[in-house]
Amino acid sequence: MSAPDPDPTPRRAAAFPGGTALFRLDPAVAHLNHGSFGAVPTPVARVRQRLDEEAAADPDAFFLGVPGRLAEARARIAGHLGADPEGLALVANATEAANLALDALRLERDDEVLVTDHGYGTVVAAAARRARVTTVAVDPELPDEQAVCAAVLAGLTPRTRVALLDQISSPTARRIATPRLLAELRERGITTVVDGAHAPGMLADPLAGRPDLWFGNLHKWAYAPPGSAVLAAAPAYRARIPAPVPSWEDGSGFPLAVEFRATVDYTGWLAAPEGLDLIERLGATAVRAHNSGLVAHGAGLLAGIPGVSPLPYDETLAIRSLRLPRHLARTQAEAAALREEIAARLGCRVLVWSWPDGGGIRISGQLYNRPEEYERLAQGLGELLEGKRPVS
Protein backbone atom coordinates (compact mmCIF):
# COMPACT_ATOMS: atom_id res chain seq x y z
CA MET A 1 0.00 0.00 0.00
CA SER A 2 1.45 3.35 -0.95
CA ALA A 3 0.34 6.80 0.08
CA PRO A 4 -1.08 8.86 -2.78
CA ASP A 5 1.53 10.54 -4.87
CA PRO A 6 1.00 14.29 -4.42
CA ASP A 7 2.02 14.90 -8.03
CA PRO A 8 1.22 11.72 -9.91
CA THR A 9 2.87 11.59 -13.30
CA PRO A 10 0.95 9.21 -15.58
CA ARG A 11 3.09 6.13 -16.22
CA ARG A 12 3.65 4.99 -19.78
CA ALA A 13 1.20 2.22 -20.45
CA ALA A 14 0.54 0.26 -23.62
CA ALA A 15 -2.16 -2.03 -24.99
CA PHE A 16 -1.61 -5.77 -24.38
CA PRO A 17 -0.83 -7.34 -27.78
CA GLY A 18 -3.95 -9.21 -28.94
CA GLY A 19 -5.77 -8.30 -25.71
CA THR A 20 -8.81 -6.60 -27.22
CA ALA A 21 -9.35 -9.42 -29.73
CA LEU A 22 -9.63 -11.96 -26.89
CA PHE A 23 -12.97 -10.47 -25.82
CA ARG A 24 -16.31 -9.75 -27.49
CA LEU A 25 -16.84 -6.32 -25.98
CA ASP A 26 -18.52 -3.48 -27.86
CA PRO A 27 -15.60 -1.41 -29.22
CA ALA A 28 -17.68 1.77 -29.07
CA VAL A 29 -17.65 1.65 -25.26
CA ALA A 30 -14.62 2.08 -22.98
CA HIS A 31 -15.12 -0.80 -20.54
CA LEU A 32 -13.20 0.47 -17.54
CA ASN A 33 -15.16 -1.50 -14.96
CA HIS A 34 -13.98 -5.10 -15.20
CA GLY A 35 -14.17 -5.24 -11.41
CA SER A 36 -17.97 -5.34 -11.29
CA PHE A 37 -19.03 -8.07 -13.70
CA GLY A 38 -15.86 -9.27 -15.42
CA ALA A 39 -15.89 -10.25 -19.10
CA VAL A 40 -15.58 -13.68 -20.67
CA PRO A 41 -12.71 -14.18 -23.14
CA THR A 42 -13.49 -16.04 -26.37
CA PRO A 43 -11.43 -19.18 -25.53
CA VAL A 44 -13.50 -19.62 -22.35
CA ALA A 45 -16.77 -18.97 -24.19
CA ARG A 46 -15.78 -21.59 -26.79
CA VAL A 47 -15.12 -24.24 -24.16
CA ARG A 48 -18.48 -23.49 -22.62
CA GLN A 49 -20.19 -23.70 -26.00
CA ARG A 50 -18.61 -27.10 -26.67
CA LEU A 51 -19.89 -28.33 -23.29
CA ASP A 52 -23.34 -27.03 -24.13
CA GLU A 53 -23.27 -28.89 -27.45
CA GLU A 54 -22.14 -32.05 -25.67
CA ALA A 55 -25.04 -31.75 -23.22
CA ALA A 56 -27.48 -31.17 -26.07
CA ALA A 57 -26.21 -34.20 -28.00
CA ASP A 58 -26.49 -36.72 -25.17
CA PRO A 59 -28.09 -35.32 -22.00
CA ASP A 60 -27.93 -38.64 -20.12
CA ALA A 61 -24.21 -39.06 -20.65
CA PHE A 62 -23.55 -35.41 -19.82
CA PHE A 63 -25.55 -35.19 -16.60
CA LEU A 64 -24.47 -38.59 -15.29
CA GLY A 65 -20.88 -37.45 -15.72
CA VAL A 66 -21.34 -34.16 -13.84
CA PRO A 67 -20.02 -35.24 -10.39
CA GLY A 68 -16.76 -36.53 -11.89
CA ARG A 69 -16.30 -33.46 -14.05
CA LEU A 70 -16.98 -31.12 -11.13
CA ALA A 71 -14.18 -32.85 -9.24
CA GLU A 72 -11.83 -32.33 -12.19
CA ALA A 73 -12.80 -28.65 -12.56
CA ARG A 74 -12.41 -28.09 -8.83
CA ALA A 75 -8.95 -29.70 -8.82
CA ARG A 76 -7.77 -27.50 -11.71
CA ILE A 77 -9.12 -24.34 -10.03
CA ALA A 78 -7.60 -25.34 -6.66
CA GLY A 79 -4.23 -25.83 -8.38
CA HIS A 80 -4.31 -22.30 -9.75
CA LEU A 81 -5.43 -20.73 -6.47
CA GLY A 82 -3.10 -22.73 -4.22
CA ALA A 83 -6.13 -24.20 -2.41
CA ASP A 84 -6.77 -27.67 -1.03
CA PRO A 85 -9.20 -29.26 -3.55
CA GLU A 86 -10.91 -31.13 -0.69
CA GLY A 87 -11.64 -27.80 0.97
CA LEU A 88 -12.96 -25.92 -2.05
CA ALA A 89 -16.51 -25.87 -3.44
CA LEU A 90 -17.85 -24.28 -6.60
CA VAL A 91 -20.73 -21.90 -5.84
CA ALA A 92 -22.76 -19.37 -7.82
CA ASN A 93 -21.22 -16.14 -6.58
CA ALA A 94 -19.66 -14.33 -3.65
CA THR A 95 -23.06 -13.52 -2.17
CA GLU A 96 -24.08 -17.18 -2.09
CA ALA A 97 -20.70 -18.11 -0.66
CA ALA A 98 -21.04 -15.54 2.14
CA ASN A 99 -24.41 -16.98 3.13
CA LEU A 100 -23.09 -20.53 3.19
CA ALA A 101 -19.95 -19.55 5.11
CA LEU A 102 -21.99 -17.73 7.75
CA ASP A 103 -24.39 -20.68 8.05
CA ALA A 104 -21.40 -22.91 8.78
CA LEU A 105 -20.59 -20.74 11.82
CA ARG A 106 -23.98 -21.46 13.45
CA LEU A 107 -24.23 -17.94 14.81
CA GLU A 108 -26.54 -17.00 17.67
CA ARG A 109 -28.49 -13.72 17.39
CA ASP A 110 -26.30 -12.18 20.12
CA ASP A 111 -23.01 -13.11 18.49
CA GLU A 112 -21.22 -10.16 17.03
CA VAL A 113 -19.83 -10.11 13.49
CA LEU A 114 -17.38 -7.33 12.78
CA VAL A 115 -17.43 -5.76 9.33
CA THR A 116 -16.07 -2.48 7.96
CA ASP A 117 -17.91 0.31 6.21
CA HIS A 118 -16.13 -0.79 2.99
CA GLY A 119 -17.95 -4.16 3.10
CA TYR A 120 -20.10 -5.24 0.15
CA GLY A 121 -23.83 -4.71 0.71
CA THR A 122 -25.10 -8.22 0.03
CA VAL A 123 -22.33 -9.79 2.11
CA VAL A 124 -22.91 -7.52 5.09
CA ALA A 125 -26.66 -8.18 4.78
CA ALA A 126 -25.97 -11.93 4.98
CA ALA A 127 -24.30 -11.36 8.36
CA ALA A 128 -27.06 -9.02 9.58
CA ARG A 129 -29.67 -11.70 8.88
CA ARG A 130 -27.92 -14.08 11.26
CA ALA A 131 -26.25 -12.06 14.00
CA ARG A 132 -25.47 -8.64 15.42
CA VAL A 133 -23.22 -6.67 13.09
CA THR A 134 -20.68 -4.12 14.31
CA THR A 135 -19.48 -1.83 11.55
CA VAL A 136 -16.02 -0.37 11.98
CA ALA A 137 -15.43 2.89 10.15
CA VAL A 138 -12.17 2.73 8.22
CA ASP A 139 -11.34 6.17 6.84
CA PRO A 140 -10.72 5.67 3.10
CA GLU A 141 -7.76 8.05 3.38
CA LEU A 142 -5.88 5.97 6.02
CA PRO A 143 -2.35 5.94 4.70
CA ASP A 144 -1.30 2.31 4.91
CA GLU A 145 -1.97 -1.31 5.83
CA GLN A 146 -0.82 -0.80 9.39
CA ALA A 147 -3.37 1.96 9.98
CA VAL A 148 -6.17 -0.14 8.47
CA CYS A 149 -5.17 -3.09 10.65
CA ALA A 150 -5.20 -0.91 13.79
CA ALA A 151 -8.62 0.54 12.91
CA VAL A 152 -10.15 -2.92 12.51
CA LEU A 153 -8.61 -4.28 15.73
CA ALA A 154 -9.86 -1.22 17.64
CA GLY A 155 -13.40 -2.17 16.64
CA LEU A 156 -13.35 -5.56 18.38
CA THR A 157 -15.56 -5.96 21.44
CA PRO A 158 -15.66 -8.78 24.02
CA ARG A 159 -18.64 -10.22 22.10
CA THR A 160 -17.00 -10.29 18.65
CA ARG A 161 -16.96 -13.87 17.39
CA VAL A 162 -16.34 -13.37 13.70
CA ALA A 163 -14.54 -10.85 11.51
CA LEU A 164 -16.00 -10.70 8.00
CA LEU A 165 -13.56 -8.64 5.97
CA ASP A 166 -12.77 -7.74 2.40
CA GLN A 167 -9.51 -8.88 0.92
CA ILE A 168 -9.86 -6.06 -1.63
CA SER A 169 -12.76 -3.72 -0.92
CA SER A 170 -15.24 -3.02 -3.68
CA PRO A 171 -15.71 0.76 -3.56
CA THR A 172 -12.31 1.81 -2.33
CA ALA A 173 -10.01 -0.93 -3.73
CA ARG A 174 -8.29 -1.22 -0.32
CA ARG A 175 -6.46 -4.26 1.00
CA ILE A 176 -8.12 -4.98 4.35
CA ALA A 177 -7.87 -8.69 5.30
CA THR A 178 -4.11 -8.89 4.97
CA PRO A 179 -2.20 -11.92 6.34
CA ARG A 180 -0.98 -9.72 9.17
CA LEU A 181 -4.50 -8.67 10.23
CA LEU A 182 -5.71 -12.28 9.96
CA ALA A 183 -2.89 -13.40 12.25
CA GLU A 184 -3.80 -10.70 14.80
CA LEU A 185 -7.45 -11.78 14.74
CA ARG A 186 -6.56 -15.45 15.07
CA GLU A 187 -4.41 -14.65 18.12
CA ARG A 188 -7.50 -13.09 19.71
CA GLY A 189 -9.63 -16.16 19.02
CA ILE A 190 -11.75 -14.47 16.32
CA THR A 191 -13.03 -16.59 13.44
CA THR A 192 -12.04 -15.05 10.12
CA VAL A 193 -14.22 -14.96 7.00
CA VAL A 194 -12.66 -13.25 4.00
CA ASP A 195 -14.54 -11.80 1.05
CA GLY A 196 -12.01 -12.35 -1.72
CA ALA A 197 -14.46 -11.49 -4.53
CA HIS A 198 -11.67 -9.71 -6.46
CA ALA A 199 -8.80 -12.02 -5.53
CA PRO A 200 -8.83 -14.97 -7.99
CA GLY A 201 -6.89 -13.97 -11.08
CA MET A 202 -5.80 -10.63 -9.57
CA LEU A 203 -3.66 -11.83 -6.64
CA ALA A 204 -0.82 -14.33 -7.05
CA ASP A 205 -1.67 -15.98 -3.70
CA PRO A 206 -5.38 -15.38 -3.07
CA LEU A 207 -5.51 -17.59 0.04
CA ALA A 208 -2.58 -15.88 1.75
CA GLY A 209 -3.07 -15.73 5.50
CA ARG A 210 -5.31 -18.82 5.41
CA PRO A 211 -8.57 -17.47 6.86
CA ASP A 212 -11.05 -19.94 8.35
CA LEU A 213 -13.45 -19.34 5.49
CA TRP A 214 -12.70 -17.55 2.23
CA PHE A 215 -14.62 -16.98 -0.95
CA GLY A 216 -13.75 -15.50 -4.31
CA ASN A 217 -15.46 -14.85 -7.60
CA LEU A 218 -14.09 -16.56 -10.67
CA HIS A 219 -16.32 -14.45 -12.92
CA LYS A 220 -14.40 -11.26 -12.23
CA TRP A 221 -10.61 -11.42 -12.67
CA ALA A 222 -10.35 -15.16 -13.39
CA TYR A 223 -12.33 -14.85 -16.68
CA ALA A 224 -14.95 -17.48 -15.85
CA PRO A 225 -18.56 -17.28 -17.07
CA PRO A 226 -20.98 -15.41 -14.78
CA GLY A 227 -22.22 -17.52 -11.88
CA SER A 228 -18.79 -18.99 -11.07
CA ALA A 229 -17.23 -18.58 -7.65
CA VAL A 230 -15.51 -20.70 -5.01
CA LEU A 231 -15.79 -21.13 -1.26
CA ALA A 232 -12.73 -22.44 0.63
CA ALA A 233 -13.10 -23.81 4.14
CA ALA A 234 -10.56 -24.89 6.76
CA PRO A 235 -11.05 -28.58 7.70
CA ALA A 236 -13.05 -27.82 10.87
CA TYR A 237 -15.79 -26.04 8.91
CA ARG A 238 -16.20 -28.24 5.84
CA ALA A 239 -18.81 -30.64 7.18
CA ARG A 240 -20.87 -27.73 8.50
CA ILE A 241 -21.35 -25.97 5.18
CA PRO A 242 -24.90 -26.68 4.05
CA ALA A 243 -25.95 -27.51 0.51
CA PRO A 244 -27.83 -24.45 -0.82
CA VAL A 245 -30.36 -26.89 -2.28
CA PRO A 246 -30.02 -30.42 -0.90
CA SER A 247 -30.04 -32.84 -3.82
CA TRP A 248 -28.93 -36.36 -4.82
CA GLU A 249 -25.35 -35.78 -3.67
CA ASP A 250 -26.32 -34.46 -0.24
CA GLY A 251 -24.91 -37.59 1.35
CA SER A 252 -21.53 -37.09 -0.34
CA GLY A 253 -20.61 -34.24 2.01
CA PHE A 254 -18.48 -31.20 1.25
CA PRO A 255 -17.71 -30.17 -1.47
CA LEU A 256 -19.89 -32.17 -3.87
CA ALA A 257 -23.05 -31.84 -1.73
CA VAL A 258 -22.71 -28.04 -1.93
CA GLU A 259 -22.07 -28.07 -5.67
CA PHE A 260 -24.53 -30.61 -7.03
CA ARG A 261 -27.96 -29.12 -7.78
CA ALA A 262 -29.57 -31.84 -9.91
CA THR A 263 -30.50 -30.66 -13.41
CA VAL A 264 -29.08 -27.16 -13.80
CA ASP A 265 -26.63 -25.65 -16.28
CA TYR A 266 -23.13 -26.72 -15.17
CA THR A 267 -21.36 -25.52 -18.31
CA GLY A 268 -20.16 -22.26 -16.71
CA TRP A 269 -18.47 -24.05 -13.81
CA LEU A 270 -16.98 -26.70 -16.07
CA ALA A 271 -15.55 -24.00 -18.37
CA ALA A 272 -14.29 -21.93 -15.41
CA PRO A 273 -10.81 -23.51 -15.16
CA GLU A 274 -10.16 -22.42 -18.73
CA GLY A 275 -10.11 -18.78 -17.57
CA LEU A 276 -7.32 -19.43 -15.08
CA ASP A 277 -5.52 -21.61 -17.64
CA LEU A 278 -5.67 -18.69 -20.08
CA ILE A 279 -4.00 -16.37 -17.57
CA GLU A 280 -1.19 -18.92 -17.18
CA ARG A 281 -0.83 -19.31 -20.95
CA LEU A 282 -0.59 -15.55 -21.43
CA GLY A 283 1.83 -15.30 -18.49
CA ALA A 284 0.27 -14.45 -15.14
CA THR A 285 3.03 -12.00 -14.22
CA ALA A 286 2.73 -10.18 -17.55
CA VAL A 287 -1.07 -10.03 -17.30
CA ARG A 288 -0.98 -8.59 -13.77
CA ALA A 289 1.79 -6.12 -14.61
CA HIS A 290 -0.14 -4.94 -17.65
CA ASN A 291 -3.42 -4.51 -15.78
CA SER A 292 -1.90 -2.72 -12.80
CA GLY A 293 0.27 -0.53 -15.04
CA LEU A 294 -2.67 0.50 -17.17
CA VAL A 295 -4.91 1.32 -14.22
CA ALA A 296 -2.06 3.35 -12.68
CA HIS A 297 -1.90 5.33 -15.92
CA GLY A 298 -5.65 5.93 -15.74
CA ALA A 299 -5.57 6.90 -12.07
CA GLY A 300 -2.74 9.34 -12.75
CA LEU A 301 -4.82 11.05 -15.44
CA LEU A 302 -7.94 11.24 -13.26
CA ALA A 303 -5.90 12.68 -10.40
CA GLY A 304 -5.18 15.65 -12.64
CA ILE A 305 -8.86 16.68 -12.60
CA PRO A 306 -9.53 19.51 -10.10
CA GLY A 307 -11.27 18.14 -7.00
CA VAL A 308 -10.44 14.48 -7.77
CA SER A 309 -7.88 12.90 -5.45
CA PRO A 310 -6.43 9.39 -5.42
CA LEU A 311 -7.01 7.16 -2.40
CA PRO A 312 -4.08 5.21 -0.97
CA TYR A 313 -3.57 2.22 -3.24
CA ASP A 314 -1.81 -1.07 -3.71
CA GLU A 315 0.20 -0.69 -6.90
CA THR A 316 -0.05 -4.41 -7.74
CA LEU A 317 -3.85 -4.27 -8.10
CA ALA A 318 -5.82 -3.80 -11.30
CA ILE A 319 -8.43 -1.56 -9.67
CA ARG A 320 -7.99 1.93 -8.26
CA SER A 321 -10.36 4.35 -6.59
CA LEU A 322 -10.27 8.12 -6.44
CA ARG A 323 -12.31 10.54 -4.41
CA LEU A 324 -14.65 12.87 -6.28
CA PRO A 325 -15.40 16.44 -5.16
CA ARG A 326 -17.08 16.15 -1.75
CA HIS A 327 -20.52 17.37 -2.83
CA LEU A 328 -20.92 14.46 -5.30
CA ALA A 329 -22.12 10.85 -4.87
CA ARG A 330 -23.10 11.20 -1.21
CA THR A 331 -25.93 8.71 -1.70
CA GLN A 332 -26.35 5.57 -3.79
CA ALA A 333 -28.91 7.35 -5.96
CA GLU A 334 -26.49 10.22 -6.68
CA ALA A 335 -23.69 7.75 -7.44
CA ALA A 336 -25.89 5.75 -9.81
CA ALA A 337 -27.02 8.92 -11.60
CA LEU A 338 -23.42 10.06 -12.12
CA ARG A 339 -22.38 6.58 -13.32
CA GLU A 340 -25.16 6.66 -15.92
CA GLU A 341 -24.25 10.18 -16.98
CA ILE A 342 -20.64 9.12 -17.52
CA ALA A 343 -21.82 6.12 -19.57
CA ALA A 344 -24.24 8.15 -21.68
CA ARG A 345 -22.08 11.22 -22.28
CA LEU A 346 -18.58 9.74 -22.39
CA GLY A 347 -19.26 6.16 -23.47
CA CYS A 348 -17.21 4.95 -20.48
CA ARG A 349 -18.25 2.27 -18.02
CA VAL A 350 -16.90 2.94 -14.52
CA LEU A 351 -18.04 2.31 -10.96
CA VAL A 352 -19.18 5.38 -9.04
CA TRP A 353 -19.48 4.63 -5.33
CA SER A 354 -21.24 6.59 -2.65
CA TRP A 355 -19.85 7.66 0.70
CA PRO A 356 -21.58 9.93 3.22
CA ASP A 357 -19.05 12.75 2.84
CA GLY A 358 -18.59 12.39 -0.89
CA GLY A 359 -18.09 9.32 -3.02
CA GLY A 360 -15.63 8.29 -5.63
CA ILE A 361 -14.88 6.65 -8.92
CA ARG A 362 -13.29 3.22 -9.40
CA ILE A 363 -11.55 2.17 -12.58
CA SER A 364 -10.13 -1.18 -13.67
CA GLY A 365 -7.32 -2.25 -15.98
CA GLN A 366 -7.74 -5.30 -18.20
CA LEU A 367 -6.18 -6.95 -21.23
CA TYR A 368 -8.76 -5.37 -23.52
CA ASN A 369 -8.13 -1.82 -22.30
CA ARG A 370 -5.95 0.76 -24.04
CA PRO A 371 -4.38 3.96 -22.66
CA GLU A 372 -6.58 6.10 -24.95
CA GLU A 373 -9.70 4.88 -23.14
CA TYR A 374 -8.51 6.39 -19.84
CA GLU A 375 -7.52 9.56 -21.69
CA ARG A 376 -11.07 9.80 -23.05
CA LEU A 377 -12.50 9.28 -19.54
CA ALA A 378 -10.20 11.84 -17.92
CA GLN A 379 -10.84 14.49 -20.56
CA GLY A 380 -14.61 13.95 -20.50
CA LEU A 381 -14.89 13.65 -16.72
CA GLY A 382 -12.93 16.86 -16.24
CA GLU A 383 -15.44 18.69 -18.44
CA LEU A 384 -18.43 16.99 -16.85
CA LEU A 385 -17.32 17.88 -13.31
CA GLU A 386 -16.56 21.42 -14.37
CA GLY A 387 -20.30 21.75 -15.02
CA LYS A 388 -21.10 20.41 -11.55
CA ARG A 389 -19.11 22.87 -9.48
CA PRO A 390 -21.06 23.78 -6.33
CA VAL A 391 -22.74 27.15 -6.53
CA SER A 392 -21.21 29.33 -3.82
Tell me whether residue 33 or residue 191 sits nearer to ligand PLP (CB atom): 33
Tell me whether residue 94 or residue 193 sits nearer to ligand PLP (CB atom): 94
CB of 135 to ligand PLP, least distance (A): 15
Residues that bind ligand PLP (CB under 6 A): 36, 93-95, 120, 122-123, 166, 170, 195, 197-198, 217
Give the 3-state secondary structure of 247-268: CCCHHHCCCHHHHCCCCCCCHH
CB of 353 to ligand PLP, least distance (A): 10
Tell me whether residue 16 or residue 353 sits nearer to ligand PLP (CB atom): 353
65-86 as b/e, with b when 16 or more CB fall inside 10 Å? bbeeebeebbebbbebbebebe
Tell me whether residue 191 or residue 217 sits nearer to ligand PLP (CB atom): 217
Tell me whether residue 91 or residue 233 sits nearer to ligand PLP (CB atom): 91
Query: Of the candidates 127, 129, 283, 108, which has an alpha carbon nearest to the alpha carbon of residue 193?
Result: 127
CB-based contact 54:72 (threshold 8 Å): no
- How much of the chain is in helix, strand and coil states, percent to nearest 5? 40, 15, 45
CB of 95 to ligand PLP, least distance (A): 3
CB of 187 to ligand PLP, least distance (A): 25
Query: Of the candidates 364, 361, 358, which has an alpha carbon nearest to the alpha carbon of residue 380?
Result: 361
Residue 294 to residue 371: CA distance in whole angstroms: 7
CB of 64 to ligand PLP, least distance (A): 29
Tell me whether residue 198 or residue 339 sits nearer to ligand PLP (CB atom): 198
CB of 119 to ligand PLP, least distance (A): 8
Q: In what order do the strands lie in the sheet with 160-166?
A: 88-91, 229-233, 213-217, 191-195, 160-166, 112-116, 132-136
